Structure 1
Amino acid sequence: MKLILLHGLGQTSSSWDETKKVLNTSDEILCPNLYEWLYDKPVGYNTLYSELEKYCDKFDEPLNLCGLSLGGILAMQYCINHPDKVNSLILIGTQYIMPKNLLKMQNLVFRIMPYSTFEKMGFKKSDFIELCNSMVDLNFECDLNKIKCPTLVVCGDKDKANKKAAIGLRERIKNAELVIIEKSGHEINIENPTQLGVQLNSFLKNI
């Protein structure tokens, strides 16, 4: 079986490196670079999601999907649209109704960040802003009941912006459990990869 790790906005596939060292699973672990999916294509959330569908369609067996933030949103939508293709779902710091004010603040931060920061990720500054803008109206609240597989919702104890959404996901997804990871903010795979790996091992072992 495959375990697909989808990184967040502002991260790269290497953001999972330390977490992968802790994982103890027989699954083949895959960490696609989301920005590569936008190469020579219209920049936007819908393009990313379409590319995720193509990526997952290559595999015949049900998948274990894990995503942080943007990656979590993509994984969540895929599970909603293709429930028979997902064996389990892990959502880290994930929103199901996009917080418009938070996205606007994020875009303001992106605007003042140096271009070199984005170039390190192989992505243009303007594309980051465009991608954020394309997500403003996303709302999956009415579709969460379509998720039937075992689901782990994860949030950092310092991630105040996403903690309410984490609780909402646990309440709205039938087979969901919630884990709060201490000493971590939003980017748990970077800030506390060891504890994240421990929690993922425990979840995957019992599904």
Structure 2
Amino acid sequence: MPIVFLHGLGQRPEDWNAVVSRLDKGSRALCPNLYALEREGEDYSSLYGAFEQYCDSLEGPLDLCGLSLGGVLALQYAAEHPQRVNSLALIGARASMPKVLMTVQNLLFRLMPADSFRKLGLEKGTAIRLCASMADLDLRPELEQVACPVLVLCGEQDRANRRAGEALARMLPQAEFRLIAEGGHESNKDAPEALSVLLTDFYRGRAAVQKI
């Protein structure tokens, strides 16, 4: 059963390496490059459609672990395909987008040099359009469709997303909320050891339940 790790906007698949290397040796990790998925447009809807096709091509059920943008994609897929998802781990993810923060994020993207995006395998214009297209995204009406256990995580220092994470856990049928010690928004990079401990406990617990 594969564990699919989904990076955030402004990250690369390699940003999961420090986490994956600390997981149990038997875990099968897949870290797709979200930017490289074949899609027809540069907005969120097109990206989700490409991600949906990617997941459908894998042997399931799947364990999905996503950070920020990756978490949003994983959450939507689990809501729309509950029979295909065994578990969810969501890090710094939201069910609805904060328009003020999204506007600020887009302004920052416009100020950043294009080379910063190309190093990630992404064009600056694509990042701006993708971010803008998420402003009205709201998955809250679909959350009751998520049938699997969910671990909602937030970095201890990620104050911008902590309340949203707590609220998300309350809205999901089978969810628990945990803080990542000393972690920020990109906890896979700034607190990989603490994050890997929480994920290991979650996946071991899931494996134990499935053996009963």
User: What one-letter code is carried by the residue in structure 1 that aligns with 2:84?
Assistant: K
Give yes or no for contact 1:69–1:95 (8 Å, CA) kept in 2. yes
Count of residue pairs the alignment pairs up: 206
Q: Distance in 2 between the 1:51 and 1:141 partners?
A: 22
What is the RMSD computed on CA atoms of the aligned residues? 1.1
Secondary structure (helix, strand or coil) at the match of 1:22 reads coil
- In the TM superposition, residue 61 of structure 1 has moved relative to its aligned partner by 2.2
Give yes or no for contact 1:35–1:123 (8 Å, CA) kept in 2. yes
Counterpart for residue 168 of structure 1? 167
Give yes or no for contact 1:83–1:146 (8 Å, CA) kept in 2. yes
Counterpart for residue 62 of structure 1? 61
Deviations 1:108-160 (A, max 9, x none): 11111111101101111111100001111100112111112010000011111
Q: How does 1:1-207 map to 2 (within 5 A)?
A: 1-24=1-24, 26-37=26-37, 41-207=40-206
Give yes or no for contact 1:3–1:64 (8 Å, CA) kept in 2. yes
Give yes or no for contact 1:38–1:47 (8 Å, CA) kept in 2. no
Q: Work out the percentage of aligned pairs sharing the same amino acid.
A: 44
User: What one-letter code is carried by the residue in structure 2 that aligns with 1:64?
Assistant: D
TM-score by length of 1: 0.97
- In the TM superposition, residue 59 of structure 1 has moved relative to its aligned partner by 2.1
- In the TM superposition, residue 25 of structure 1 has moved relative to its aligned partner by 5.2
Give yes or no for contact 2:41–2:47 (8 Å, CA) kept in 1. no
Counterpart for residue 210 of structure 2? none
Q: Distance in 1 between the 2:60 and 2:176 partners?
A: 24
Q: Distance in 1 between the 2:97 and 2:9 partners?
A: 14
Q: Given the superposition, is the C-alpha separation of residues 80 and 175 from structure 1 closer, same or farther in structure 2, using an over 3 Å criterion?
A: same
Q: Distance in 1 between the 2:15 and 2:148 partners?
A: 26
Q: Distance in 2 between the 1:51 and 1:27 partners?
A: 25
- In the TM superposition, residue 60 of structure 1 has moved relative to its aligned partner by 3.1
Q: Distance in 2 between the 1:28 and 1:105 partners?
A: 37
- In the TM superposition, residue 83 of structure 1 has moved relative to its aligned partner by 0.1
Q: Distance in 1 between the 2:41 and 2:195 partners?
A: 33
Deviations 1:142-191 (A, max 9, x none): 21111120100000111111111110111111210111012111000001
- Any gaps of 5 or more consecutive residues in structure 1? none
- In the TM superposition, residue 68 of structure 1 has moved relative to its aligned partner by 0.2
Secondary structure (helix, strand or coil) at the match of 2:37 reads helix
